[in-house]
């Protein structure tokens, strides 16, 4: 066993070391067919010998995307966080669950402290919260909480269609709200998409018009969601204006900070979430801008009793004994078995401190601004929307006439399959936008310079090939 552990940690060390090696690629790309030839994915009748197990471990690391690499710019999360990684290992080692203090004394106390700390940033003075399986789950809990506040008996009797419940989200909001409406029985078609402006922010006047229209049709508006950093543009909805409308019509106001919620810890930039303390609930994913290993997500509520009112009566004396002078967290979670995700966040926050994490968020914002300036200063790059926060959307304009969407996608795919850099894309209207996300707090200017060097060089190479083809045809 010791030999196998040594081999494992040697390969982990090699994998982590590649994060700082600019000449090392972040991916040895293989197609699905190639992977099937290289790796035996089937489980055999007999177990593996030690050498075969080592090969399987090495294959996994060799052909996985290195998300800690500084050219991994593809998702709303990236980077490597050593204290959080250690916390993740210890969590797996102790292998407990979060339902009772009895089996998770340290983890229970840590989760309670993390929820208290996070609520203090949000401004929920008498709030509560729970760690969840992700932002989508948190958005589900928010909609469920709003429904149960309006119709408490629904916990026992089920949803009554006569209520005609309507939820309102931005047309830039995450798809999980439609999923949530489906799961709690309202139906995804009863999620109203409210118009956003050119910068991706919900228009408050459009929200109020949609609510009034719903009331006139005899429906029951009950839930509004603000997005704190949209997935494409990184836009923050105007919570302060939305909260006034929600108070006027007595609607639950939720803030989805799955991507950009961590900005609240920055005194310099928290003005983007002005009015957050006026919301009823908030989702915050530390596994994104705080670089905690997946999954680390919290659902926070303004009123302390909210989570208990989401649960039907619990009479499970085989698990909840009430013998310790502390609440068992399982009584306010829709999950029974639940991972200990608070510990890795606690390790990281203790390691960096409040000031250290604030500095990391501020640094990421400054790097996003630097990336925006790089786009603006390059003659062949076009900024497709004003930068809102951590995301920069742009495209390359080739010198010859072509399908620019298709061209930029080819550049992106060329870089991905070469393993040099991975950056994502989406559509801003009908325009394909390369979405550069600055989520790794370790990024420096030279890393961003290298990305744009890779991108513009690949674009020039494709342009030259196309020009040569045109000259040959003519």
pLDDT in tens, the chain (474 residues): 788 899 998 999 888 888 877 777 889 999 999 999 999 999 999 998 999 999 999 999 999 999 999 999 999 999 999 999 999 999 999 999 998 888 999 999 999 999 999 999 999 999 999 999 999 999 999 999 999 999 998 888 888 888 899 999 999 999 999 999 999 999 999 999 999 999 999 999 999 999 999 999 999 999 999 999 999 999 999 999 999 999 999 999 999 999 999 999 999 999 999 999 999 999 999 999 999 999 999 999 999 999 988 887 666 676 777 777 788 888 888 888 899 999 999 999 999 999 999 999 999 999 999 999 999 999 999 999 999 999 999 999 998 889 999 999 999 999 999 999 999 999 999 999 999 999 999 999 999 999 999 999 999 999 887 665 655 455
Q: Partners of 301 in the beta sheet?
A: 128, 281
The CA-to-CA distance between both ends of the chain, in Å, stands at: 67
- Give the per-residue pLDDT at 468: 57
Question: Topology of 1-27+65-81+353-474 in CATH?
Answer: 3.90.1150
Q: Do domains 1-27+65-81+353-474 and 98-340 have the same CATH topology?
A: no
pLDDT at 473: 54
Q: Give the C-alpha separation, 195 to 436, whole Å.
A: 24
Give this prediction's pTM: 0.94
Q: What contacts 404, CB < 8 A, 6 or more positions away?
A: 395, 396, 397, 398, 431, 432
pLDDT of residue 330: 85
Residue 322 burial (C-beta neighbours within 10 Å; 0-12, 13-18, 19+): exposed
Position of tokens 């809990």?
Answer: 141
Q: What pLDDT shows up at residue 208?
A: 98
Fold of the 98-340 domain: 3.40.640
Please, which residues have CB within 8 angstroms of residue 225's CB and are 6 or more apart in sequence? 139, 142, 167, 168, 169, 170, 173, 177, 253, 254, 255, 256
Partners of residue 196 on adjacent β-strands: 202
Cβ atoms of residues 254 and 224 within 8 Å: yes
For residue 422, count CB atoms less than 10 angstroms from its CB and return exposed for 0-12, middle for 13-18, buried for 19 or more. buried
- Residue ranges covered by each domain of the chain: 1-27+65-81+353-474, 98-340
**391 backbone dihedrals φ, ψ, rounded to 5°:** -115, 135
Selection from 297, 215, 300 nearest residue 251 by Cα: 215
């Amino acid at each position: 066993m010791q030999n196998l552990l040594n081999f494992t940690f040697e390969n982990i060390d090699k994998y982590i070391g590649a994060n700082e090696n600019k000449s090392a690629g972040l991916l040895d790309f293989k197609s699905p067919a190639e992977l099937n030839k290289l790796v035996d994915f089937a489980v055999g009748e007999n177990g593996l010998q030690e050498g075969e197990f080592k090969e399987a471990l090495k294959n996994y690391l060799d052909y996985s995307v290195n998300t800690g690499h500084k050219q991994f710019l593809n998702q709303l999360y990236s980077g490597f966080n050593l204290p959080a990684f250690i916390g993740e290992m210890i969590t797996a080692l102790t292998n407990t669950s979060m339902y009772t203090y009895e089996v998770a004394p340290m983890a229970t106390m840590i989760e309670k402290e993390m929820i208290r700390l996070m609520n203090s940033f949000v401004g929920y003075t008498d709030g509560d919260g729970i760690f969840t399986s992700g932002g989508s789950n948190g958005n589900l809990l928010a909609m469920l909480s709003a429904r149960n506040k309006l119709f408490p008996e629904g916990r026992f009797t089920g949803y009554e269609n006569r209520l005609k419940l309507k939820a309102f989200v931005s047309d830039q909001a995450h798809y999980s709200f439609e999923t949530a409406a489906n799961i709690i029985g309202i139906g995804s078609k009863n999620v109203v998409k409210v118009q956003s402006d050119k910068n991706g922010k919900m228009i408050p006047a459009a929200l109020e018009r949609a609510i009034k229209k719903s009331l006139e049709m005899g429906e029951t508006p009950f839930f509004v969601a603000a997005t704190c950093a949209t997935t494409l543009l990184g836009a923050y909805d105007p919570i302060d204006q939305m909260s006034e409308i929600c108070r006027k019509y007595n609607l639950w106001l939720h803030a989805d900070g799955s991507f950009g919620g961590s900005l609240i810890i920055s005194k310099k930039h928290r003005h983007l979430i002005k009015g957050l303390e006026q919301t009823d609930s908030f989702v915050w994913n530390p596994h994104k801008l705080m670089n905690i290993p997946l999954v680390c997500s919290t659902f926070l509520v303004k009123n302390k009793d909210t989570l208990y009112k989401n649960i039907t009566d619990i009479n499970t004396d085989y698990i909840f004994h009430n013998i310790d002078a502390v609440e068992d967290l399982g009584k306010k979670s829709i999950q029974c078995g639940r991972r200990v995700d608070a510990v890795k966040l606690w390790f990281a926050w203790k390691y960096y401190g409040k000031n250290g994490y604030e500095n990391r968020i501020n640094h990421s914002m400054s790097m996003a601004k630097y990336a925006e300036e790089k786009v603006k200063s390059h003659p062949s790059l076009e900024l497709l929307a004003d930068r809102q926060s951590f995301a920069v959307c742009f495209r390359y304009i080739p010198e010859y006439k072509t399908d620019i969407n298709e061209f930029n996608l080819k550049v992106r795919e060329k870089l991905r399959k070469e393993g040099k850099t991975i950056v994502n894309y989406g559509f801003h209207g009908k325009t394909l936008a390369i979405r550069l996300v600055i989520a790794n707090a370790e990024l420096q200017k030279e890393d961003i310079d290298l990305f744009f060097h890779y991108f513009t060089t690949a674009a020039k190479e494709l342009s030259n090939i196309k020009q040569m083809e045109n000259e040959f045809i003519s």
